[in-house]
Amino acid sequence: MRIFPPLNPLKLQILIIFCILTTACGRLSEDQNNGSSASIENKGSDTIVNLALAWAEEYQDVNPAVRISVTGGGSGTGIAALINGTVDIANASRSIKPEERESAQGNGIDPIEFVIARDAIAIIVNMENPVDKLSIDQISDIYSGKINNWTEVGGEDRPIVRLSRETNSGTHVYFLENVLRKGNKEDKTLFSMDTLLLPSSEGISVEIRQNPNAIGYDGLGYVTEDLKVIAVAEPGSSEYILPSAQAVNESLYPIARDLYMYTAGEPTGEVLEYLEWILGPDAQDIVTELGFVPIIR
């Protein structure tokens, strides 16, 4: 048996460093081959979160080289993360506010807006509630506290329990500005103080199922068959319309909105490719499958 002389300490250190570097390079090469070198952070609207998760899952098959992390928390949370530079894409169910844009620009970030789908906000009640239609004026009066009993809108003698999303929700902001205040920027109407603020769309649905006195609002994609959807009339109109993709596309349903993604400046690289895919036919088919309204081309 041949006996090798022991290495001196300096040569031993060099050999150890060489082995570590070789192993690290091998792992890096393997990671790149497995496509785990790129990631996109996507945060924001709870209305959009299920759609964003479905997109991210599908995109893994389209481009395995990109890992997409999706979290909710509300439109305000997503836009705040964009302003702070901690997210690649912010989801929002409302347009960015002027003061938010100014804060972003103060941090050297120029928010770029993309309309990625459309949505109707459905007014929902318990299946036992006999009321099946309301005007925007009546909904505003209910949520502002002017109407407090279902008899005032053709229902039974029951107190109205008002449900809303929390103030950080883009759906809450949209509903306040366009339903309670009817799009009037000078109007300072607020939600009644006894309105119950719930942290999620699912939370509103759960409460509606359990409480025959409750009224709430949710994105159309979250409405299930065990909830009663109310037909809505615009102010001054006698035509009551149920929310649907067709009614949104034909501008018939009065409580409809765009859904947004925001990037910090013009997107490039993997983020640009992902957004281009989202705006394409395959991703827009998922919009339809989840009950939202695809973008008309």
Instruction: Find, among 186, 206, 210, 207, the residue nearest to 195 by Cα.
Output: 207
Domain shared by 127 and 76, yes or no: no
Domain shared by 251 and 126, yes or no: yes
Instruction: Find, among 150, 157, 159, the residue nearest to 132 by Cα.
Output: 150
Is residue 10 domain-resident? no
Q: Say yes or no to pLDDT of 21 above 70.
A: no
pLDDT of 37 reads 62
> Model confidence over 237-290: pLDDT tens digits?
999 999 999 999 999 999 999 999 999 999 999 999 999 999 999 999 999 999
What span, in angstroms and rounded, lies between the C-alpha atoms of 17 and 20? 5
Contacts of 165 (CB under 8 A, 6+ apart): 46, 171, 172, 175, 197, 198, 199, 200, 201, 204, 217
Domain shared by 250 and 125, yes or no: yes
Contacts of 180 (CB under 8 A, 6+ apart): 140, 143, 144, 187, 189, 190, 191
What are 213's two structure tokens? 């006195």
Is residue 269 domain-resident? yes
Q: Say yes or no to pLDDT of 118 above 90.
A: yes
Q: Say yes or no to pLDDT of 4 above 80.
A: no
Helix (H, G, I), strand (E, B) or coil at 129: coil
pLDDT of 10 reads 44
Q: Say yes or no to pLDDT of 83 above 90.
A: yes
Is residue 129 domain-resident? yes
Is residue 44 domain-resident? yes
Q: How many CA atoms lie within 13 A of 116 on its CB side?
A: 31
Report the b/e string of 32-66 with b at 16+ CB within 10 A. eeeeeebebbbbbbbbbbbbbbbbbeebeeeeeeb
Domain shared by 234 and 127, yes or no: yes
Alpha carbon 228 to its chain centroid, in Å, reads 23
> Model confidence over 176-217: pLDDT tens digits?
999 999 999 999 999 999 999 999 989 999 999 999 999 999
Q: Say yes or no to pLDDT of 174 above 50.
A: yes
Residue, of 25 and 124, whose pLDDT is higher: 124
The pLDDT mean for the chain works out to 89
Residue, of 140 and 2, whose pLDDT is higher: 140
Domain shared by 249 and 123, yes or no: yes
Is residue 56 domain-resident? yes
pTM, two decimal places: 0.82
What are 278's two structure tokens? 């989202």
What span, in angstroms and rounded, lies between the C-alpha atoms of 221 and 120? 8
User: What is the residue range of 146's domain?
Assistant: 119-256
Domain shared by 145 and 192, yes or no: yes
Domain shared by 238 and 110, yes or no: no
Domain shared by 170 and 196, yes or no: yes
CATH number of the domain encompassing residue 208 = 3.40.190.10
Q: Say yes or no to pLDDT of 24 above 90.
A: no
Contacts of 176 (CB under 8 A, 6+ apart): 190, 191
What span, in angstroms and rounded, lies between the C-alpha atoms of 262 and 171? 17
What are 143's two structure tokens? 């949520």
Domain shared by 228 and 243, yes or no: yes
Q: What is the number of domains present in the chain?
A: 2
Is residue 21 domain-resident? no
pLDDT of 7 reads 42
Task: For Cα atoms 151, 154, 160, give the angle at the middle one, nearest 5 degrees.
Answer: 45
Is residue 23 domain-resident? no
Report the b/e string of 70-102 with b at 16+ CB within 10 A. bbbbbbbbbbbbbbeeebbbbbbbbbbeeebbe
Is residue 8 domain-resident? no
pLDDT of 25 reads 39
Domain shared by 112 and 223, yes or no: no
Domain shared by 158 and 195, yes or no: yes
pLDDT of 105 reads 97
C-alpha distances (whole Å) from 24 to each of 16, 32, 293 are 12, 12, 47
Domain shared by 123 and 59, yes or no: no
> Model confidence over 27-59: pLDDT tens digits?
333 344 444 469 999 999 999 999 999 999 999
User: Worst-scoring range by mean pLDDT, 25-39, 100-114, 170-184?
Assistant: 25-39
pLDDT of 33 reads 42
pLDDT of 14 reads 41
